[in-house]
Structure 1
Amino acid sequence: MKDSEFLQNWRVLLAAFIGISVGVSSIYFYSIGIFMKPLAAEFGWTRADSSLGALIGTSFAAIMVIPTGWLVDRFGSAKVALISLALVSLSFFALGHFTTGLTSYLVIIAIMSMLTAGSTPLPFTRLVIVAFQQNRGKALGVILTGTGTGAILLPELLAPYVAAHGWRAGYFVLGVVVASAIPIVWLLLIGAKDSEITKEVKTTPIGSLLNNWRFYHLCLIFLLTALAVLGTVAHFFSMLTDSGLTPPQAGAIASLIGVSVIIGRLVVGFLLDRFSAAYITAGLFVVASAGFLILGLGGPAYAKSGAIITGLAIGAEVDLIAFLISRLFARQIYGLAYGLVYAVFLVGGAVGPYLAGRLYDVSGNYISWLMTASSLLFLAGILSLFIPVTGPRASSADTMKGEKTAV
């Protein structure tokens, strides 16, 4: 019975996997570090200036993810995702063609982030929430390994290409990759269940969500996590090249993040269907905190370990957001609830890279940042122990009953 969910919905899984792989949360975010130094070298930017792209981009994405959640609930995931992917492709071409300095770069990033919020995991996880009941954790883990694919391939393939052909050519290649994936995603999503909860979206007011303490609890946990983890990922490639590694060598080590992301998401997805999500979340963040501490104290010698531990943390956060929201709040407002929590997560992802860059400019190294990131993750782990979710995934009958009353 459980396995039949995968047989019946494999097209949704594959479409979501590909869409997330080429979406703005994967292909753009994991390429930031690759473009950071070439852009700074050509235009004379500081490391903090180079980090402004992540700050501006994720800030505008955070603003748009809430209305995007409403659009997904109102018009369906497939339409929003496909249009957004097309805009991701166009945005990469714009970055390669129109960037002439810091101002133009940041303006394009801002516009890109506003127009492409529908290519985040939001619409794709919603499709899985509708399709899966008993295997929801595993299904979310499978599709969200798409971000790990970007983390593996971009450092390995794009970094040497940019080093040889320049950053403009690198952006053009990314535009082509995204454009090539859109028809495949469209064909796979034909006939997918996407309107099952759309008609219910007006029945639950936003006030009932904002008056729920569980919402703010999740927001704080994932804000701290995003500050620490995404701030580190954006600078990880630069950390490696600062230590004396060549771009290909740094790309090979950085690609370990992607491998770890995939492993982390599959393992966490498997565990979420069997054990308490609160304990899984807490344990993961505390382990990642220890890893960042070791990376900061040990330096380049622990670069591979740092890549693996960082990937494990990234390999869980979006899965956990989607899973916890599906457990704690009514399904008919999934898009809105996910959008709000993910917006807070993106705020952390915006501030983290910039804060890391500022600390680097002040100290001349990343040690102070890694100590800060370790502390933030440890606090997030402690707070996770109090998430009001116990036991594995509820049965299908219990799920439907809870979705009528939970807000």
Structure 2
Amino acid sequence: MTEGVSNPVAFPAASRHQGEFQRGWTILMPAIVGCAFCMGTLATISIGPFVTALGRDMGWSRTAVQMSLLFGQGFSSLGVIATGLLLDRVGARRLALVGLLATALGLALISFVQSILQFYAIMALTALIGSGASAITWSRAVTAAFDKNRGLALAIVLSGAGIAGVFLPSFLAWVIGGHGWRTGYLALACLPALVAMPIVFLMFRPAETSAIRVRPDSGEPHSRSGRARSGMFLQYRFWVLLISIFCTYCAISGVMPNFIPALTDKGMTLERAAIAQGAFGASLILGRLVVGFLVDRFWAPAIGAVFLTPPALGCLLLTWDPGFSAAVTAALLIGLATGAELDLLALLTSRYFAPHLFSKVYSWVYAAAACAGAASPMMFSWLRDLTGSYDASFYMTAALFLVGGAMLPTLGKYLEKADDR
């Protein structure tokens, strides 16, 4: 047992890195489903199919409907901070079940709303309580169960959101088209209630511990780091990670909701613009898995820089009156970055911070990403209205990608391989 680390996950020394997936599949399976059907995923992916129906039946503008994400993402940023504080006290399993239950109840309640204010209020409250089942909970459990294959395991789990994005829009369009938007929200509520919760309840039993295993070749345990004990706000790596993720998420969250309008403004047909955006979903899943594989074998900050800086070129392509091929290239580059950033957030947090700080650091940085996701789409639209085109926004996001990617190598050596930090 590693001295100075409480309740470590114990495995035979000879098989410490052997068969992690054989041992950890009972963590991975419910985590994938939970990540696919948590509030953060469902609210973002489902809003598109509901926009037209809500506008037709309730008289709400598209902007008014999409503004619900501002409340959802904004209150989610508060929720994940609270989740980070509670994880090591309450446990991932309990928080996950509460979060999924709140998500199901909140989505069901939306089917009864009569005003836009009720819509916003339910979205905000559901995002706040539903954060117990957000990515921080699933990532915390995976980092405790995996070491050698941690990056790939995180990638597999976080790909749950991409998997949901493949089938959910078509499923909701079918339900809404045949039975209306209120039934659509009830059907959406069934996913966390009838699919995710039973699987999580029966299978998800992570080691409730604040210890994340260190590498066997580590010269010292995490807990011996004096700087780690001094608190995350005093560590420059915390600010590097937070600013990098914030910049990257601002760029991603601004581009993707405005991708099709930007292309149609430049003369591309709606159909071809939608096909071009389809490349984004495929490259997101690919980027997530490829990055997860690579960061287990190479220095993760360098991998992050390689994936997060090229989308700057994609943004510049979108300012040059792009043809279809250029638009697809831009979508592929931005999709790869989107697949990389959440994987890197969890992996880098586990490699650069002491185990007892993991949940706190992750929650604060994830909250910054949520704030970026809430504000960036509206900022994009505001700049478009101010200047008459999306070009200024794309130049801004190109700079954000460059800054976010270039900052990561300044993190230096992993904590467990560093000298006294």
**How would you bin the TM-score normalised by the shorter chain?**
0.7 to 0.9
Q: Which amino acid aligns with 1:112?
A: T
SS in 2 for 1:339: helix
- Report how far residue 88 of structure 1 moved: 0.9
Letter of the 1:383 counterpart? M
Aligned to 1:143: 157
Q: Does 1:339 align with 2:339?
A: no
2:12 is the alignment partner of 1:12: no
Contact 1:73 1:197 in 2 (8 A): no
* Superimposed CA distance per residue, residues 275-315 of structure 1 (whole angstroms, 9 cap, x where no aligned partner): 12121111111112212222343457244434333321211
Residue 299 of structure 2 corresponds to 276
In 1: Cα distance, 2:323 partner to 2:53 partner: 22
CA distance in 2, matches of 1:204, 1:82: 35
Aligned AA for 2:160?
G
Distance, in Å, in 1 between the alignment partners of 2:175 and 2:275 is 13
- Does residue 168 (structure 1) correspond to residue 182 (structure 2)? The answer is yes
Answer yes or no: is the 8 Å Cα contact 1:51–1:354 preserved in 2: no
Residue equivalent to 2:280: 257
Change (3 A) 1:296 1:79: farther
For residues 185 and 240 of structure 1, the distance between their equivalents in structure 2, rounded to whole angstroms, comes to 41
Say which structure, 1 or 2, has more relative contact order (CA 8 Å, 6+ apart).
Answer: 1
8 Å CA contact 2:81, 2:363 repeated in 1: yes
Q: Matched residues in 2 for 1:359 and 1:250: separation?
A: 21
Normalising by structure 1, report the TM-score. Answer: 0.85
Deviation at 1:233, TM superposition (A): 2.9
Q: Check the 8 A contact 1:33/1:234 in 2, yes or no.
A: no
Q: 1:326 aligns with which of 344, 350, 354?
A: 350
Which of the numbers 40, 45, 58 marks the counterpart of 1:30?
45
Amino acid in the other structure paired with 1:264 = G
Q: Which protein shows a greater Rg?
A: 2
**Which segments of 5 or more consecutive residues in structure 2 lack a partner in the other structure?**
1-14, 213-221
Q: 1:126-156 deviations in whole A, cap 9, x for unaligned?
A: 1111111111111111111111112222334
Matched with 2:198 is 183
Structure 2 CA distance for aligned equivalents of residues 36 and 70 of structure 1: 35
Going from structure 1 to structure 2, the CA distance change for 1:216 and 1:297 (only over 3 Å counts) comes to same
Hey, what does 2:72 align to over in structure 1?
A: 57
For 2:258 and 2:119, the matched residues in 1 are separated by: 18
Aligned length: 391
Distance in 1, matches of 2:55 and 2:227, equals 48
Structure 1's 19 and 211: CA in aligned 2 closer, same or farther, altered over 3 A? same
Shift of 1:80: 0.2
Distance change >3 Å, CA 25–CA 250, structure 1 → 2:
farther
Instruction: Tell me how large the CA RMSD over aligned residues is.
Output: 3.1
Partner of 1:356: 380
Q: Which has the higher mean CA deviation after the structures are superposed, 221-230 or 43-52?
A: 43-52
Kept in 1: contact 2:228–2:235 (CA 8 A):
no
> What's the counterpart of residue 385 of structure 1?
409
Report the Cα distance in structure 2 between the residues aligned to 1:74 and 1:184, rounded to whole angstroms: 23
Question: Quick one: structure 1 residues 250 and 310, their matched pair in 2 at CA, closer, same or farther if it must change by over 3 Å?
Answer: same
Match of 2:396, SS state, is helix
Q: How far, CA to CA, are the matches of 1:235 and 1:35 in structure 2?
A: 17
TM-score calculated relative to the size of structure 2: 0.83
8 Å Cα contact 2:314-2:331 kept in structure 1: no
Other-structure match for 2:207:
193
Is 2:251 aligned against 1:228? Answer: yes
> CA separation in 1, counterparts of 2:170 and 2:278?
6
Q: 2:313, 2:330 within 8 Å by CA — same for their partners in 1?
A: no
Q: Cα gap change, 1:50/1:298 in structure 2, threshold over 3 Å: closer, same or farther?
A: farther
Q: Distance in 1 between matches of 2:264 and 2:170?
A: 14
Q: Which of these residues, 111, 120, 125, is aligned with residue 106 of structure 1?
A: 120
Deviates more, 1:268-277 or 1:30-39: 30-39
Alignment partner, residue 215 of structure 1: 238
Q: CA deviation at 1:379?
A: 1.8
Q: Residue 314 of structure 1 aligns to a residue in which SS?
A: helix
Deviates more, 1:8-17 or 1:293-302: 293-302
Amino acid at match of 1:350: A
8 A Cα contact 1:141 1:266, kept in partner: yes
Could you say if the C-alpha distance between residues 355 and 49 of structure 1 is closer, same or farther in structure 2, counting changes exceeding 3 Å?
farther
CA distance in 2, matches of 1:298, 1:42: 37
Please say if residues 138 and 270 of structure 1, whose CA atoms lie closer than 8 Å, have aligned partners that are also in contact. yes
Shift of 1:31: 2.3
Instruction: Decide which moves more: 92-101 or 362-371.
Output: 362-371
